[in-house]
């Protein structure tokens, strides 16, 4: 039992002992599991948790920890009523997950009445880094922690399509202009002025550049750096590829109202074809073999942690 002052005097590394990777996985309430309806989903979930646990044990990422606790939990949303922590992974169903958290929290009656701007700019939900150290520790150790992930290449292409192939008042002037200026030879004045029309190959050149003209962005940051899955012991690992089934199973586990189901609608650009493996293939054709390999290497940890097959 350390005083607050003693805790502040400790090195940041020592604070993590005993908080992350507890000896046993958090037990999920499965009393509602009757019959065979959720049997396969539950079995898949156990395999994912076990796989990630074994991976982290093998690679022991704690040795490489250089990050402060508050930064580690900066992407995690808190829902106190049902004691849920959800780590946001953009382009893996996060908009609809935030809608669900708002309903669980009593901030909205239905997921269908919440606009995109309300979800992302409304500041209705609290993040874990907004609590004091005790509040963070308590929730990490007692709440059900969930993460939803997606095939890394699909997530990357989805982010590019969303941010660069549609009008965007932030990504074009901030990222687009810098990308075109650095990676496009003989760029015309209009492109340099607006930042619109970034090509996928130019985007990848930026992604792989250790001296990026602008920093990283959460939409294409690695999940290993967004949610730190080897330091924060997630109790539930959902996948975008089985999103609806996983999400509705999770809602039952945390005691959500029976009528609350995970929304099926596409948050934006609903007329666009969803980013599938075939769509990804078309984009990867624009890259050289070396660029494809380097892009895979960039997301190598994500592929390994969540047992995704290399493209």
- The pLDDT, as a whole number, for residue 167 is 93
The tens digit of pLDDT for each residue in 183-213 reads 999 999 999 999 999 999 999 999 999 999 9
Decide if 129 is inside a domain. yes
Residue with tokens 């750096």, as numbered in its chain? 225
d(CA 206, CA 220): 11
Range of the domain at 86: 38-152+221-275+301-306
- The pLDDT, as a whole number, for residue 29 is 62
Going by DSSP bridges, is the β-strand pair 76-79/84-87 parallel, antiparallel, or unpaired? antiparallel
Residue with tokens 């596409």, as numbered in its chain? 266
Decide if 107 is inside a domain. yes
H-run or E-run covering 302: helix 300-305
Decide if 12 is inside a domain. no
d(CA 145, CA 8): 26
Query: What pTM was estimated for this model as a whole?
Result: 0.86
Radius of gyration for the alpha carbons in the chain, expressed in angstroms and rounded: 20
Bridge partners, residue 87, by sequence = 76, 147
d(CA 153, CA 220): 10
d(CA 48, CA 40): 12
Structural domains of the chain, count: 1
- The pLDDT, as a whole number, for residue 200 is 98
* Per-residue pLDDT tens digits of the chain, which is 311 residues long: 444 444 444 433 344 433 443 434 555 666 666 557 788 899 999 999 999 999 998 886 555 555 678 889 999 999 999 999 999 999 999 999 999 999 999 888 888 888 777 776 667 899 999 999 999 999 999 999 999 999 999 999 999 999 999 999 999 999 999 999 999 999 999 999 999 999 999 999 999 999 999 999 999 999 999 999 999 999 999 999 999 999 999 999 999 998 999 988 766 656 578 889 999 999 999 999 999 999 999 999 999 999 999 88
Sign of torsion, CA 239 245 251 254? negative
The tens digit of pLDDT for each residue in 103-130 reads 999 888 888 888 777 776 667 899 999 9
At 88, phi and psi to the nearest 5? -80, 120
Q: Residue 275 corresponds to which tokens in the numbers above?
A: 């980013």
- The pLDDT, as a whole number, for residue 5 is 46
Decide if 49 is inside a domain. yes
Going by DSSP bridges, is the β-strand pair 126-127/76-79 parallel, antiparallel, or unpaired? antiparallel
Decide if 183 is inside a domain. no
Decide if 205 is inside a domain. no
Task: Quote the crossing angle between the two packed helices 243-253 and 94-104, to the nearest 10°.
Answer: 20
At 131, phi and psi to the nearest 5? -95, 165
Decide if 196 is inside a domain. no
Task: Output the CA–CA distances (angstroms, integers) from residue 90 to 32, 121, 218, 226, in the order listed.
Answer: 30, 15, 7, 10
Residue 263's contacts (CB-CB under 8 Å, 6 or more residues apart) are 96, 99, 100, 111, 112
- Strands in the chain per DSSP E: 76-79, 84-87, 126-127, 144-149, 236-239
d(CA 145, CA 31): 19
The tens digit of pLDDT for each residue in 2-30 reads 444 444 444 333 444 334 434 345 556 66
Decide if 147 is inside a domain. yes
């Amino acid at each position: 039992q350390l005083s607050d002052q003693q805790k502040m005097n400790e090195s940041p590394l020592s604070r993590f002992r005993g908080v992350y990777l507890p000896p046993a996985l958090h037990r999920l309430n499965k009393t509602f599991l009757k019959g065979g309806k959720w049997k396969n989903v539950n079995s898949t979930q156990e395999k994912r948790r076990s796989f990630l646990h074994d991976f982290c044990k093998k690679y022991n990422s704690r040795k490489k920890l250089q990050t402060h606790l508050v930064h580690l939990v900066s992407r995690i949303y808190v829902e106190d009523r049902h004691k849920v922590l959800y780590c946001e992974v953009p382009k893996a169903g996060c908009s609809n997950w935030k809608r669900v958290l708002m309903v669980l929290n009593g901030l909205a009656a239905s997921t269908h009445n919440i606009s995109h701007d309300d979800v992302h700019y409304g500041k209705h939900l609290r993040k874990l880094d907004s609590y004091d150290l005790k509040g963070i520790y308590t929730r990490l150790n007692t709440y059900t922690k969930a993460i939803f992930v997606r095939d890394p290449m699909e997530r990357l292409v989805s982010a590019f399509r969303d941010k660069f192939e549609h009008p965007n008042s932030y990504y074009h002037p901030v990222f687009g202009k810098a990308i075109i200026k650095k990676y496009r030879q003989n760029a015309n004045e209009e492109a340099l002025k607006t930042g619109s029309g970034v090509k996928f190959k130019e985007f990848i050149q930026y992604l792989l550049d250790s001296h990026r003209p602008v920093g990283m962005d959460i939409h294409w940051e690695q999940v290993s750096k967004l949610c730190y899955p080897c330091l924060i012991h997630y109790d539930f690992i959902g996948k975008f590829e089985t999103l609806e089934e996983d999400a509705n199973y999770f809602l039952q586990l945390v005691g959500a109202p029976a009528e609350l189901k995970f929304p099926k609608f596409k948050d934006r650009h609903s007329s666009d074809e969803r980013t599938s493996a075939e769509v990804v293939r078309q984009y990867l054709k624009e890259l050289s073999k070396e660029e494809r390999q380097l892009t895979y290497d960039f997301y190598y940890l994500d592929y390994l942690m969540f047992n995704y097959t290399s493209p």
